[in-house]
Amino acid sequence: MNTNQNKAVEFEDLGIKEYQPAWDYQEQLMKAIIDTKIKNRDLPSEQHITTPNHLLFVEHPHVYTLGKSGHEENMLAGIDKLKEIEATYVKTNRGGDITYHGYGQIVGYPILDLENFFTDIHLYMRNLEEVIIRTIGEYGLKGERSQGETGVWLDVGKPYARKICAMGVKASRWVTLHGFALNVNTDMRYFEYIVPCGIKDKQVTSLKRELERELTSEEMEDVKAKIRKHFIDVFQAELIYK
């Protein structure tokens, strides 16, 4: 456990960014943290360098990403169809199966040194879910967890259960990568070309669909502000704006 815990999290909104450059940027931030941790191993504890934490928000152009434990058959669209719908397909190193990222979706990538918080991946995932559950609760939606299915759901246990936020992470030396994708104004037609998260019998939804109206760009920023607020509360962190 890190005796010199740093609860400050540097926040950055990357705006609209292609998936691969955003992933490369995450990897770069993760590597810097891991390099510091390796350096610290050879130093007495009082000389340990504090490791930073990051939280990135981003909106990706249409892309399907497959997790390392995912099944390619859950990608239903071939090369021609991907071209037609202007989407790309990327195999990634996070956990989980296939998911979609696109415009109108808030993607959050926390790159945290969990030794600054707690060393428990299960708790980390539950905390991420809690952030989103509290966020959508402010819009009158009752977000829930579904046993054995990561992410945030509505109407769990009912025939019309549906997922509003997908999650998939990777951790190395307790440093996290990847994160969550909350559907806000997302074009839900793009989910028709995959078996979302490899789950055949459940639907996906968005804030727009649930509230039955498109959120304005100001409201989209408000959703982001709510996510940040709940992130600070749940992780007992302090946000620093880059």
CA distances from 17 to 48, 124, 141 (A): 35, 26, 29
Which amino acid, 64? Y
Q: Alpha-carbon distance 224 to 27, whole Å?
A: 23
What's the longest Cα–Cα distance across the chain? 58
Choice among 55, 133, 197, 215 that is catalytic: 197
- The closest alpha carbon to 6, from 236, 188, 187, 241, belongs to 236
Cα separation of the two ends of the chain: 27
Q: Alpha-carbon distance 170 to 121, whole Å?
A: 9
Q: Give, as one character, the DSSP assignment of residue 233.
A: H
Q: What is the CA radius of gyration of the chain?
A: 18
Q: Give, as one character, the DSSP assignment of residue 53.
A: -
Query: Token pair of 44, please?
Result: 């007495």
Based on the residue annotation, tell me whether 165 is a catalytic residue of this protein: no
Q: Alpha-carbon distance 238 to 52, whole Å?
A: 12
Which amino acid, 173? R
Provide the annotated active-site residues. Answer: 197
